[in-house]
Amino acid sequence: MLTDLLLIIILYLIGSFPTSHFYGIFFLNKNILLEGSSHSGLSNIYRYLSFYKILMILFFDVVIKGALPSYILSSYLSDLTNYLIALVVGHNFSIFLKFKGGRGLAISLGILLGAKIELFFTVVIIFLILWAIIKFKDSSWPWLLSLIITTITYLYDYHLGNFFFDSEYKNIKFLLFSILLLIIFTRILGKRNYSRINYKTIIYRIFFDRDNF
């Protein structure tokens, strides 16, 4: 029990490292918590970066913070949810930023990449299809929809004989659900401004990650 708790704390601290925020502070002299959507994720700083710097931050969040711990743990543990979700909690509610943070998408993709690479590619391919067909002005809701579709597809496949995914994926269903719910919950919180929140605001925050269209 103590070992499990210690591991969860370590993973939370790994997830808590605010890559984009620290880059903004040390290299751009900008506090991105005071810019745009007021969160510490890459989507709130990319406008100030070159393509290669975006890739560098994305690599750190997806591979170093997400995929690497996920891959290591999946090699030794069958039930990953309680551990890997700590990475997303840390990313979204960083102890270094007074429990503010990002939206959790990049690190969640990394977790899927490390745990079950087929699920990672499923999410990415669905996103690319949606992006190509609809060509919306931003990527916030296509990413969310791709996660929702992947989760639903996985659940149907799990109950219909594992046509797409191997039966070993049964241990990751709660992880998928937890990631999806945590991303939605973080979006609903928005800028932590609750004075004017209503059902329309909640819908806009969930699907478009902002308070209005």
pLDDT of residue 53: 92
Per-residue pLDDT tens for 57-110?
999 999 999 999 999 998 887 777 788 999 999 999 999 999 988 889 999 999
Residue 14 lies in a domain: yes
Three-state secondary structure of the chain: CHHHHHHHHHHHHHHHCCHHHHHHHHHHCCCHHHCCCCCCCHHHCHHHCCHHHHHHHHHHHHHHHHHHHHHHHHCCCCCCHHHHHHHHHHHHCEHHHCCECCCCHHHHHHHHHHHCHHHHHHHHHHHHHHHHHHCCCCCHHHHHHHHHHHHHHHHHHHHCCCCCCCHHHHHHHHHHHHHHHHHHHHHHHCCCCCCCCCHHHHHHHHHHCCCCC
pLDDT of residue 133: 84
Per-residue pLDDT averaged across 176-187, rounded? 90
Residue 107 lies in a domain: yes
Across 53-67, 122-136, 158-172, the highest mean pLDDT is recorded for 53-67
Residue 213 lies in a domain: no
Across 42-56, 86-100, 152-166, 187-201, the highest mean pLDDT is recorded for 86-100
pLDDT of residue 142: 87
Q: Binning pLDDT at 50, 70 and 90, where does residue 165 land?
A: low
The total number of structural domains in the chain stands at 1
Range of the domain at 159: 2-208
pLDDT of residue 111: 95
Per-residue pLDDT tens for 19-66?
999 999 998 898 888 877 778 888 888 888 888 999 999 999 999 999
- Return the higher-pLDDT residue of 156 and 118: 118
Indicate the pTM of the whole model: 0.88
pLDDT of residue 79: 77
Per-residue pLDDT averaged across 186-195, rounded? 73
Residue 60 lies in a domain: yes
